[in-house]
């Protein structure tokens, strides 16, 4: 772990590593975290839980996501995590060692996110 710096450019075969703390020990907390990725078509290649502090039932998760922070789907997943989790630590986006491009689910490409954002902006301007 080093000083914060910009991520290297996306290659199409990338990983992003995070540490995420769940809000509380309650039913559905892990599901809520995972939904931030699933709803945006971001696949996870690794998720590990670690106990947090002295309190029973509080966990942090180390996560490897198959996407780059430069991709809209990963950026929006991070926004969702930031809204719902007390702590999200971005450790970096980097080329995956395997070098295999991750296939995208329908509706999760850059053009899909751009079109959806353009539609919302049109609605805000009163256009249909």
Give the tens place of pLDDT for each residue, 88-102. 999 999 999 888 888
Those residues whose C-beta lies under 8 Å from the C-beta of residue 17, and which sit 6 or more positions away, are 62, 63, 64, 65, 91, 92, 94
68 assigned to some structural domain: yes
What range defines the domain where residue 28 resides?
Answer: 14-102
Give the tens place of pLDDT for each residue, 53-87. 777 778 899 999 999 999 999 999 999 999 999 99
53 assigned to some structural domain: yes
How many domains does the structure of the chain reveal? 1
22 assigned to some structural domain: yes
Give the tens place of pLDDT for each residue, 3-17. 778 888 999 999 999
Nearest-angstrom CA–CA distance, 103 and 43: 10
At residue 2, does pLDDT exceed 70? no
Nearest to 107 by CA among 80, 76, 128, 82: 76
CATH number at residue 48: 3.30.70.260
Give the tens place of pLDDT for each residue, 15-42. 999 999 988 778 899 999 999 999 999 9
């Amino acid at each position: 772990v080093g000083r914060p710096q910009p991520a290297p450019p996306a290659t199409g075969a990338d990983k992003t590593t995070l540490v995420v703390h769940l809000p509380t020990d309650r039913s559905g907390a892990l599901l809520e975290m995972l939904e931030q990725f699933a709803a945006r078509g971001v696949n996870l290649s690794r998720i590990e839980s670690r106990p947090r502090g002295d309190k029973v039932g509080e966990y942090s998760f180390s996560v490897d996501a198959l996407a780059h922070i430069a991709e809209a789907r990963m950026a929006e997943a991070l926004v969702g995590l930031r809204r719902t989790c007390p702590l999200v630590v971005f450790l970096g986006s980097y080329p995956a060692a395997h070098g295999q491009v991750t296939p995208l689910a329908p509706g999760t490409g850059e053009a899909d996110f751009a079109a959806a954002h353009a539609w919302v902006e049109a609605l805000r301007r009163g256009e249909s």
